[in-house]
Amino acid sequence: MSNIEKKYMVAGFAFLTPAIVIYLIFAVIPFFDSFILSFQEWSGFGPRTFLGLKNYFSAFRDKTFLLAIRNSVYLGVASAFFSVIIGVLMAWLLLYVGKKWGGFFRTILFSPSMIPAVITALIFAFVYEPEIGILNNILGTLGLENLQHAWLTNKGTALNCILFVSAWKQVGLTMVLCFAGMQGIDNSLIESARLDGATDFQIFKKIILPLIMAFVQLSTIFAVMSGLKIYDTVVALTNGGPAKSTTVMPLWILQNSFSFNNYGYGSAMSMIFVVIVLIGMVVVKKLVRGGNYER
């Protein structure tokens, strides 16, 4: 190794060291401390008491936590399903829009992803409001009064209302990622297919979609992780109600830790949550395989 290469390596490590130290202090060390705490009982004051696996057994006997797992998995899977399908189709349609209007529509369609989740939730709280909300007013105008509901206080509709907000926020990111992937496809492939008589849908199905699967996979991972980790939207819309029917894992973990001062139990649920998130990532990578081609 030459002296110049050694100097660059030393400089690289010097620049990386502050970031590594910050990451260790604020991410790695707290994670392992939380893992140790998951086997203990601690109220935030005084010494910790070792409990073994009791916190984990309690978690799997906790009906609210099992409901929270189901709700989080449902939001992760369903929001990814809808946002990815709609986002990919929107990206494909934008290919046929000229440069002048294409940039405008991409900005408009991506804007929901840039709005903070709490603000988005507050906007939709007014949309779902039973008396003066836009949704019920539209249904009333169309003569569909039988479909009007108190959307956020009805057990049958509250979770799906949250799902709609989550998917709505994710569509724009999927659209931008997949559109970028489509822009990288060699135009000669599409032109050759047109000369062979392929329709636009056949080109999309046989050429475009297989070549952007790496972007679809990335978008799906983002959407699943966002759905699993959803917290602020739930708090702003329902706070886990009605009757805990929309409780999700992050919300129940935080309530047990910071409201009930049961940090050991909250840490145990956090470790279970980490495992579920990792399983979700592995499943997505197996089901949605990325691909590429050589020019």
pLDDT-derived band at 35, boundaries 50, 70, 90: very high
Q: What is the pLDDT of residue 33?
A: 94
pLDDT of 1 over the 60 cut: yes
The yes-or-no verdict on residue 294 having pLDDT over 90 is: no
Bridge partner residues of 50 (DSSP): 40
Query: Alpha helix locations (H) across 129-257?
Result: 134-141, 158-183, 187-195, 200-203, 209-211, 213-228, 232-237, 249-254
What is the distance of C-alpha 193 from the center of its chain?
36
CB neighbours of 215 closer than 8 A, spacing ≥ 6?
177, 178, 180, 181, 290
Check residue 220 and give its pLDDT: 93
Q: What is the pLDDT of residues 62-119, one digit of tens each?
A: 999 999 999 999 999 999 999 999 999 999 998 888 777 888 888 888 998 899 999 9
Output the pLDDT for position 291: 56
Q: What is the pLDDT of residue 136?
A: 92
pLDDT bin (cut points 50, 70, 90) of residue 224 is very high
Beta strands 49-50 and 40-41 are antiparallel
pLDDT tens digits, one per residue of 242-271: 999 999 999 999 999 999 999 999 999 999
Task: Please compute the mean of the pLDDT values over residues 194-218 and round it to a whole number.
Answer: 90
